[in-house]
Structure 1
C-alpha cells in the first residue's frame, strides 16, 4: 500500500464536503521580517508597534496578506495540489488581527463543481476559513480552482455553481477593536493623502516596478508551505517554466501601491480577484489602482476605500481589449476594501 499522497483530483470533490487542512502554523515576528524582505512592504501600521499603538492597537499586527498566505498555503495540498490554475476570489473578509504567537489552521467547504468541456479538468469552488488557536476565524474567502481529472473518462458530476456576492458590503467589514485614526500621523505614515482626498473613479499609477526573481518566488512559496506542483516542477508545463504563485503577485502589487496609497493601512475585504495571465521569473511587475467606492465606518477617524488593484507588465490604466478579455500584459485584477484615516 502506497504511503505517499498524490493529492485530490477533480472527481474527488463534491459540494458539501468539509476538509480540515493539516499542519497548523505558529507565526512569529520572523514571518513579518521575511514578508518585508520578499516584498517592498512598508505600510506603517504593520511596521511599527509604536505607530500601531498610536492608532489604538496593542502592537503591530501581522500583515493581512501574510496571514492570507499562511492560511492559503494550508489549503494547497487538499485543494490545488493538482491545479492547472487558481482562477479567482470572492467574499473575502479579514475578521480578526493576527499577532506573533498565534497559531493558524484552515478549514474548507466545497461549494461548487463544474467539469470543463474538454473532459480533462474541472473547476472547484471552496469557502475557506482561517482559524487561530482559540478557534476564532481570522479570515474567510471563496476561491475557485481549475483541477486536473485523474481519469478523463470518469463521468462528469452534476454542475453546481455557487451564487456569490459581487462585493462585500461596507457594513459587513470588520474594523479591529480599538482602531482609532483621529490622532493619525501622516508624516510617519509617509503621505498626506487621506480618505477624503480620493474620488470615486480616480486612477493612480504607482510608478515603481519589481522584476520577479526565481529565488525570491521559490522562497516565498516555501515560506507559505504552498506545495502546488506548478510552482516547483518545471516539467508540468509545456513551456518548461515554473508558474509564479498568484499570491506572490498580489503581495508585490499591494506593496507597490504604497506609492500613492501609503495610508491604506489595513485590508478588510476581498470582493473579487482574477489571475488574468501567468507570471514567470524575469517579468517586471508594475501596479495601478482605481477608486471604486467609498464608505464611512463607525470607528473614530476610520474610512473604507474600495479599490481595484491591477498588476501588469505593460502600461498603466490598460485592462481589457475590445473583446472584453484581459490584455496579455495584465497579471492580476483585484477588487478589495482598505481602511484608512478620514
Structure 2
C-alpha cells in the first residue's frame, strides 16, 4: 500500500498566504520551572530578578518571572509550523512589546495575522510579514510583535498572493513601556546581589559597552534550544532537506544568537533586568555550530517612563559578532556591515533608578 500524506502537513508556502489572513496556532504550552532551568543552562543568563524568587519578591514581584526572551521564543515556536516551516531565513523583527509578566505555571498560546507579502525577484521565494501575539491562560496578551520571514514557493510559476510591505514604527514609544514590570521597591533592590552597582542614572546616550565575554555555540545546544521552543523549522533540524540549500548545513536559529547576546550583556548591564520592547532587529549573517559569539551595546537614548518614578528605560543597540571580540565595536562600515557581525538588535531595557 503506498504511503499516504493526506493527514500530514507540509506547512504553508509563500503562495498560500493572504493579507489579512488570521491563523490560530496549535499546541498551547505550559511553562514550567524545568523549562526555565533548561533555558538558563543553555544561555547562562544571570539577571537576579529572573534567577531568584527571593530577589524578585524583595522588589515587588510575586516570584521570579520567566525570562522575557524565553517567552518570546516559546510564542515564536508556536508560529513556526504555520508561518516559517518552509522558511529560508527569518529576516527581522519590529514593534515587539512585552505586555504582562509570565510565571512558571502559565500557559501560552499564539495567533498571527498576515500584514504584508512581497515576492522576491527570483520568484523562488517571497517575504511574509506577520503580527503575532502570545496569550496566557486567562486570555491576556503577554507579547505582541511583528516579524518578516523569507519563505519558499511550492511552485515558482504560481501567482504572487499579494504585494504590500507594511509601514512599521521605528521604535516603541516610552509611554508603551513598563506594563510587564510591577512597581519596583528600589530601597530593597540590592546592587551586590544583582551583580552591578550601575543603575539608570549611570548610563548616558552614546556610551558603548564591550561585554567582553564570548560563548562558542555547540550544535547540540542549539538543537536542545529549538526543541525546547517546539520550533520545527527545517533549516534548523533537517540536514537531509538542506542538501540543496545555499548554506548546505543547518542554520543556528537567530533567536539563539539573541539570547546569547542578551546573556553576555549582563557584564556591563547587570541591572537591565527586563526587556520591555524590541524596536527592531536584523539577522545580518548566518551562524553555524562552532562559531563563537561576542557582543557589545551602545546606549542610543535614555527615557523616562510616564508615571514611573521607580525605573527608567535604556534604548540599547546590541551587536553580536562571530569569531571576533568586540573591543573595537564592529558594526557597519559605510553601507555594509563588518563581516563578523551576525545580529543588530535595537531594544528597550528597564532598569531601577
TM bin, normalised by shorter chain, reads: over 0.9
Corresponding residue to 2:79 among 66, 75, 79 = 75
Question: In structure 2, do the counterparts of structure 1 residues 177 and 232 end up closer, same or farther at CA, with 3 Å as the change threshold?
Answer: closer
Give the drift of 1:234: 1.8
Specify whether residues 274 and 239 from structure 1 end up closer, same or farther in structure 2 by C-alpha distance, changes over 3 A only.
Answer: closer
Q: Which residue number in structure 2 is paired with residue 280 of structure 1?
A: 288
Q: Quote the residue 1:306 is aligned against.
A: 315
1:19-77 per-residue CA deviation (whole Å, 9 max, x = no partner) reads 00000000111111111100020100000111111111111000000011110000000
Aligned residues: 341
Deviation at residue 177 of structure 1 after TM alignment: 5.6
SS in 1 for 2:295: strand
When the two structures are superposed, what TM-score results if normalisation uses the length of structure 1? 0.97
For each residue in 1:125-184, what CA deviation from the matched residue of structure 2 results, as whole angstroms up to 9, or x when unmatched?
000000011110001100000000010001223311111000000011133363214221
What secondary structure does 2:81 align onto? helix
**Aligned: 1:291 with 2:299:** yes
Mapped contact 1:87–1:145 kept (Cα < 8 A): yes
Aligned 8 A contact 1:84 1:148 in 2: yes
Q: CA deviation at 1:217?
A: 0.4
Structure 1: gaps (5+ residues): none
Match of 2:234 among 229, 233, 243: 229
Of 317, 328, 331 in structure 2, the residue corresponding to residue 319 of structure 1 is: 331
Post-superposition Cα deviations, 1:284-320, rounded to whole Å, max 9, x if no partner, equal 0000000011111223421111100111022421111
Tell me how far 1:7 sits from its aligned partner: 0.3
| TM-score normalized with structure 2 length | 0.94
- The equivalent position to 1:196 in structure 2, one of 184, 191, 201, is 201
1:233-290 deviations in Å (ceiling 9; x for gaps): 1231344321001111100000000000000000100100000000000000000000
Residue 339 (structure 1) aligned with residue 350 (structure 2): yes
Corresponding position: 1:44 with 2:48: yes
State the match for 1:143 in structure 2. Answer: 147
Are positions 1:180 and 2:181 aligned together? no
2:71 and 2:183 mapped to 1: Cα distance?
A: 19
